[in-house]
Amino acid sequence: QVERRTHDYKRHGTTTLFAALDVATGEVLGSCFRQHRTEEFLAFLKLVARAYPRRELHIVLDNASTHKEPRVKLWLSQHPRIHLHFTPTSASWMNQVETWFSLLQRRAIKRGVFKSVSALLDAIRRFLNAWNAHKKPFVWVKSAEQILRKADRQHSAVTVH
């Protein structure tokens, strides 16, 4: 039997969490916003840029429209050390921060009952702080060749001819 929410479960609001995973250390930089728009995404990019001030940054993203807005492109043109890379459609599994989001969901949110958005935010912050206190990088168990071959197969499978 699959676990379900009770009949009287009520959602008391949501949040948008943007997170950046440093693949070398496992550290996660996260910030919650009320909405998921270009303004919030730009605010997060600025936060990442401040957190890593003297580095060339390569940020892997899904294909959300907010990531490709003209204002984002303009900001990136003014910050040439920051490069965006997009996962192929249906291949967000290639972005290691998605693994972290899955852990957050399973360990801190899934069975939680949050009476307010601030209670949800507190749970996210606690998980994020605990993660960073004991951080370690994720390790791929497949070779780069195997991963890219799988991505190519999946891309081919969803291509319409």
Query: Where are any strands of DSSP class E within 24-99?
Result: 28-33, 57-61, 82-86
* Average pLDDT, integer, range 78-107: 89
CA dist 160 → 62, 71, 135, 156 (Å): 20, 31, 41, 8
HSE (side-chain half, CA atoms, 13 Å) at 145: 0
* Average pLDDT, integer, range 95-104: 92
**Tens of pLDDT along 53-85?**
989 999 998 888 888 899 999 999 999 999 999
Q: In degrees rounded to 5, what are phi and psi of residue 60?
A: -95, 130
Q: Is the pLDDT of residue 44 over 70?
A: yes
Q: Is the pLDDT of residue 35 over 90?
A: yes
Strands 16-21 and 28-33, by their bridges, are antiparallel
What confidence score (pLDDT) does residue 73 get?
A: 95
**Residue/partner pairs of 33-38 with CB below 8 Å, 24 or more apart:** 36/64, 36/66, 37/66, 38/66, 38/69, 38/71, 38/72
Q: Is 77 left (phi over 0), alpha (psi -120 to 50) or beta?
A: alpha
* Average pLDDT, integer, range 97-103: 93
* Average pLDDT, integer, range 8-29: 87
